[in-house]
Structure 1
Amino acid sequence: MKILIYMPSHWADEWAEMPTLFPDHEFAFASDVSAAVSEIRDAEVLIVLGAAVETEVLDAGTSLKWLQVASAGIDSLAALGADRYGHLLVTNARALLAAHVAESAVALLTALTRGIHFSALRQAEHRWDNSYDYDEVAGKRALIVGVGGIGRAVASRYHALEMEVRGADLVAGEPDDALESVHPVADLLDLLPETDVLTLCCPYTPQTHHIVNQAVFDALPDGAYLINVARGPCVDTAALIRTVRAGRLRGVGLDVVEQEPHPPESEVWDLPNVLMTPHMAGASPRRGERVVPFVTDNLRRYLCGEPLNNVVDLARGF
């Protein structure tokens, strides 16, 4: 059996031992589209590490049966069509990114409440200025949309910061020590009037496209915060701009935006109290030590005919 590992070249060392673990099978490595298209023609397994897999790669994989991606979201793949690629077994790495994505959510929120971004700008100007309208997270009421592995990791950290935490999800979920309750996402508008911090950790699907829209912003109390570590199109950018310019949000932390890379002419760059990071919540020097053993075990399972971990449904998008 041939297994293709498609990844950026700087990750190569972390995967160099994979062929020695499965000596009875053929391995190929590719770091660009042309090499991947060439190598995938007779491959049964494709392991993708890094950016989304291109259609020309998938279409060239006439023998492909299983696709393992090293990200949590599969929205770029689902957007290509479940009808087109529904024959593939697809697995992701959703639980493996939880710790560092959750840290990014907390970092965005606390940077906004404690004025870290404001101080960084003043430092660049060599100016001592503590005129920021400082806030604190303790006692705030958080609502997390999407309470899978990442959402629950955010909830545990919010809870440790003495926040009251509720969840809303596309599927039924149970509360835990950090989550006081989990509600259907259909109840979102009813939950918002008692929400100080709205945090998105949900997959991007047709149901979550612009799940944060003008109606959602209007339902939030004045002075609320929005944190998005999910996907950019979960938030209606035009509605966000209107709401921030109206002064209704105290802070917005975005690791993702609708257009990535974000165009320099966008109004979002200059919005007051908006802190934006370049889709880096999933980046960590420890990502390899989590992903490599997981993928190795899933490959062992596949070769032994055992059920795989983190199987996703392309039709649902998660």
Structure 2
Amino acid sequence: MDILVLLPFSDDERATIEAAAPDGSRITYTTKADVTDEQVARAEVIVGNLAPARLAAAGHLRLLQLNSAGFDQYMAPGTLPAGAHLACAVGAYGQAVSEHLLTMILMLMKHLDAYRDDFCEHAWRDHGSVTTIAGARVLVLGAGDIGSHFAQLARALGAHVAGVRRHAGDIPDGFERMHTMDELPDLLPQADVIVSFLPSSPDTRGLVNAAFLARCKRGAYFANGGRGDLVVQSDLICALEDGHIAGAALDVTTPEPLPADDPLWDAPNIFITPHVAGQFHLPVVLTNIARITAENLRHLAAGEPLRNDVPLSR
């Protein structure tokens, strides 16, 4: 099997992949910037988010193992060669993204963003009363791997955590209750914190609009670690300006990068990070991706169903 790896794995992570590869496999380690069309052309497995336009050369491809949980840009018919599988990296980012979003929310609750600004100005100011996540009603939109990790963190701090997903089903660890999306309008007025890890889809784009925000409890906090197109940003600005939403923590925006003159930057009580929660800054993310890759190499060699296999329109 010809395996092309585009990610900066450590020696231990490479060893995990090599142990799972069929005997006689050729594994080439390179980068997305340095990979050649010749390497792409002979690869049966590519590990990493190769630009979709470059997949036209991948005539022998059997599996594209993404390093991201999202896969939107690979869904257009004809992006992958006929017969090739697409697998995402769901399960790799739960710890990293959940810790990042929880930290952002706590910073807003404790005014630590304002105190950081004061620190940079050498200013000694008191920003008044703060709030707590202990005892708060937290509503998590998207109860997969990341949502479940977040729920466990918030629950450990004393929050009451409810989840929302397409189908209720079993209740994952960390959640007290699970609801479906059609119940969302009735849940919003009860929540002190609303956190979204929803993917981009026709049903989620623009979901957080003026009507959504108006149903939220006055003084609630909103956080988004899923996709930027969930939010109508002009409506969020208005909700922050009139104080209906106490604060917003965003790791994703529309567009990305967010232009320097975008009014979202200047909304009150907002904290924006540049879509960095789920990258490779936390080393365990790459370890998790290596393990997912190894699992799928074994499944592919055995002709078994793949983990995180994405259904494709051909």
Ranges of 4+ aligned residues in structure 1 off by more than 6 Å = none
CA separation of 1:268 and 1:31: change in aligned 2, threshold 3 A: same
CA separation of 1:314 and 1:123: change in aligned 2, threshold 3 A: farther
What is the aligned residue count? Answer: 308
In the alignment, which residue of structure 2 is the partner of 1:102?
98
Q: 1:64 aligns with which of 51, 61, 79?
A: 61
Q: Given that residues 155 and 178 in structure 1 are in contact (C-alpha distance below 8 angstroms), is that contact kept between their aligned partners in structure 2? A: yes
Q: Given that residues 44 and 63 in structure 1 are in contact (C-alpha distance below 8 angstroms), is that contact kept between their aligned partners in structure 2? A: yes
Unaligned runs of 5+ in 2: none
In the alignment, which residue of structure 2 is the partner of 1:300?
298
Q: Tell me the TM-score normalized by structure 1.
A: 0.89
SS of the residue aligned with 2:305?
coil
Unaligned runs of 5+ in 1: none
SS of the residue aligned with 2:131?
coil
Deviation at 1:117, TM superposition (A): 0.7
Q: Given that residues 251 and 273 in structure 2 are in contact (C-alpha distance below 8 angstroms), is that contact kept between their aligned partners in structure 1? A: yes
Paired with 1:208 and 1:314, the residues of 2 have a C-alpha distance of 20
Q: Given that residues 44 and 66 in structure 1 are in contact (C-alpha distance below 8 angstroms), is that contact kept between their aligned partners in structure 2? A: yes
Q: Given that residues 4 and 29 in structure 1 are in contact (C-alpha distance below 8 angstroms), is that contact kept between their aligned partners in structure 2? A: yes
Q: 2:73 aligns with which of 73, 76, 95?
A: 76
Identical-pair percentage: 30
In the alignment, which residue of structure 2 is the partner of 1:155?
151
Deviation at 1:57, TM superposition (A): 1.6
In the alignment, which residue of structure 1 is the partner of 2:277?
281
Paired with 1:274 and 1:40, the residues of 2 have a C-alpha distance of 42
CA separation of 1:261 and 1:11: change in aligned 2, threshold 3 A: farther
- Which has the higher relative contact order, 1 or 2, with Cα contacts under 8 A spaced 6 or more apart? 2
CA separation of 1:63 and 1:274: change in aligned 2, threshold 3 A: same
Q: Given that residues 36 and 57 in structure 1 are in contact (C-alpha distance below 8 angstroms), is that contact kept between their aligned partners in structure 2? A: no
Q: For 1:171-224, what per-residue CA distance to the aligned partner results, in whole angstroms no more than 9, with x for missing partners?
A: 333224531221111221121111111100122222211221121111101111
Q: Given that residues 30 and 39 in structure 1 are in contact (C-alpha distance below 8 angstroms), is that contact kept between their aligned partners in structure 2? A: no
In the alignment, which residue of structure 1 is the partner of 2:258?
262
Write the letter of the residue equivalent to 2:6: Y
Q: Given that residues 20 and 298 in structure 2 are in contact (C-alpha distance below 8 angstroms), is that contact kept between their aligned partners in structure 1? A: no
CA RMSD of aligned residues (A): 2.2
Q: Which piece of structure 1 moves more, 174-183 or 211-220?
A: 174-183
Paired with 1:16 and 1:221, the residues of 2 have a C-alpha distance of 49
Q: For 1:29-87, what per-residue CA distance to the aligned partner results, in whole angstroms no more than 9, with x for missing partners?
A: 34235734331112221111xxx431222222122221111221222323xx2565484
CA separation of 1:11 and 1:178: change in aligned 2, threshold 3 A: closer
Paired with 2:200 and 2:77, the residues of 1 have a C-alpha distance of 14
Write the letter of the residue equivalent to 1:265: D
